[in-house]
Structure 1
Amino acid sequence: MGNMEGTPVWFELTTPDPDGSLDFYRHVAGWAIALSAMAEHGGYRIATAPDGERIAGLMAPPPGASASVGWGVYFGVADVDAAAARVKELGGAVHFGPMDIPHVGRFAAVADPQGIGFNLLTGADPEGSRAFAAAPGAFGHGVWVELATPDPDGAFAFYGAMFGWEKAGAMPMGEMGDYAFIGKGADFRPGAVMSSSLSGAPARWNWYVNVPDIDAAIEAARAHQGALMQGPDPIPGGDYSANISDAHGFRIGLVGPRK
């Protein structure tokens, strides 16, 4: 797998109505969404960006799972079995796996010590994933990830031990605490960590998709039974960010310019 440890490599929506979600995300994120060509994937739907790269999956909850799950983030690791064991050593939990996904790789569903879920993936493609691309014009790709947690310092300790992340500066948000940036090396800045207790944000991993016109994406969400939860707010570099919910109440972030 060609990605740096801790890179977001896949995004996945678990929803009670995958077919009903297709139209929403096609219009909002600009994805083409189709059933996986692999029969072993059991009706898994794959979302593709305008540049042809695979970005995300949509699926119904597996038997026995909660009907209300929403978006999840997969982080790339070189050895998913070793990484899952490390999660437990650091006070987290392994909920499922590790197990193989035919033609995709090996994954595990885990949680950090604060109980916030995420996924680990060792991909089968030696070139790695290009689902996350923090670059101008990478429309439809993931461009930012964001952890809201009741213990930001504990989160940096955990994910630092897991992926080598460090706190790379912070933006003060007054009574909501700091918006602390994730860093690794000179150039890797995939996202940020903030306090769920102070900000009121749901304790979870969120992710942001790059769109060419954030106002148009918000209007598309509203037109397809979604809602605007926050924004658009200016961010460094000239773009804007927003958070929306789809028709089932599942949240996702947007990043893009205002035209």
Structure 2
Amino acid sequence: MAGEGNFIWHELMTTDTAAAGQFYSAVVGWNAEKADNTTAGGMDYTLFKLPGFEMGTAGMMALTPEMQTGGARPAWIGYIYVDDVDAKTAEVPTRGGMVHMGPTDIPGIGRFSVVADPHGATFYLFRPNMPDGPMPEMPKPGSPGTFGWNELNAGELDVAFDFYSALFGWTKTMAVPMGEMGIYQVFANEGRDIGGMMRKVSQVPMPFWQFYITVDAIDAAVERVKTHGGKITNGPHPVPGDAWIVEGVDPQGAKFALTAGKR
């Protein structure tokens, strides 16, 4: 079981699950499989799986008309593990954040809430129901098709870091100067770097979390993105750790990012 404060699941909310499933399957190499409703809390849910693995790497749900009327748009959302969803949800407003949906049970799956940091970046708090018996084999971290990095485009870096640090115990590690863009602050949980934070650029209307999916090679992935209807918005760029990154938008409008150890 992942310790408190770790991202343990990533989920795409989109307007066209069939088309999005085809896009990410082509770009990343996932298989998009409909989950059995009896194991998905009765929801219409799609799992992104890597060939040869029983467990999903990520999930996908459709945005309902009501969600869209309320302003929801296609986006990737991160789930952060907590030991007590109710207690942690109650703590969020005391740290300056907001609660969008209070603690809710998904039958057979777990308990979650939808919250946001002081500048409006949304994330989920989640405690899953653990199945009996041994856990199924999972892909090796850092292998293609897994999520390799979690990045906050923050409203104000110091305020945002203080919020998450108080909530989850995240600690600062490497700080990378980025000129006029300020500092890129890497953060760790349980002694392991799991993401970074930076001040969002002025053209971006709202702070948001962005998640990096590991692929085999950046240039090849960029071509797959373009071929299958996505757009590249930034990169490719080399980053510390001998890696390459690229940012894009999928055909339904959700922002995503890719990372690889080679170009």
In the TM superposition, residue 22 of structure 1 has moved relative to its aligned partner by 1.0
In the superposition, the TM-score normalised over structure 1's length comes to: 0.91
Asked if residue 32 in structure 1 is aligned to residue 34 in structure 2, the reply is: no
Q: Structure 2: any 5+ residue segments left out of the alignment?
A: none
Asked if residue 190 in structure 1 is aligned to residue 194 in structure 2, the reply is: yes
Structure 1 contact 149–197 (Cα < 8 Å) conserved: no
Structure 2 contact 74–252 (Cα < 8 Å) conserved: no
Alignment-derived partner of residue 96 in structure 1: 101
Alignment-derived partner of residue 57 in structure 2: 55
> What is the correspondence of 1:97-136 to structure 2 with a 5 Å cutoff?
97-125=102-130, 135-136=141-142
Asked if residue 84 in structure 1 is aligned to residue 89 in structure 2, the reply is: yes
Change in Cα spacing, 1:11 to 1:237, as seen in structure 2 (3 Å) is: same
Distance 1:130 1:159 in 2: 30
In the TM superposition, residue 176 of structure 1 has moved relative to its aligned partner by 0.5
Structure 1 contact 56–131 (Cα < 8 Å) conserved: no
In the superposition, the TM-score normalised over structure 2's length comes to: 0.89
Q: Structure 1: any 5+ residue segments left out of the alignment?
A: none
Alignment-derived partner of residue 214 in structure 1: 218
User: Quick one: which of 145, 152, 156 aligns to 2:161?
Assistant: 156
In the TM superposition, residue 49 of structure 1 has moved relative to its aligned partner by 2.4
The RMSD of aligned alpha carbons is 2.3
Asked if residue 247 in structure 1 is aligned to residue 246 in structure 2, the reply is: no
Distance 1:106 1:237 in 2: 36
Structure 1 contact 3–128 (Cα < 8 Å) conserved: no
In the TM superposition, residue 58 of structure 1 has moved relative to its aligned partner by 1.1
Structure 1 contact 35–44 (Cα < 8 Å) conserved: yes
Instruction: Count residues with an aligned counterpart.
Output: 255
| Deviation >6 Å, runs of 4+ | 126-133
- CA deviations on 1:16-53 (whole Å, 9 max, x unpaired) are 11111111000111111111112443221111124514
Structure 1 contact 55–130 (Cα < 8 Å) conserved: no
Letter in 1 for 2:238: P
Distance 1:190 1:107 in 2: 21
Alignment-derived partner of residue 227 in structure 2: 223
Alignment-derived partner of residue 19 in structure 1: 18
Distance 1:200 1:99 in 2: 31
Change in Cα spacing, 1:200 to 1:68, as seen in structure 2 (3 Å) is: closer
Alignment-derived partner of residue 45 in structure 1: 46
Distance 2:26 2:102 in 1: 34
Secondary structure (helix, strand or coil) at the match of 1:103 reads coil
Change in Cα spacing, 1:255 to 1:202, as seen in structure 2 (3 Å) is: farther
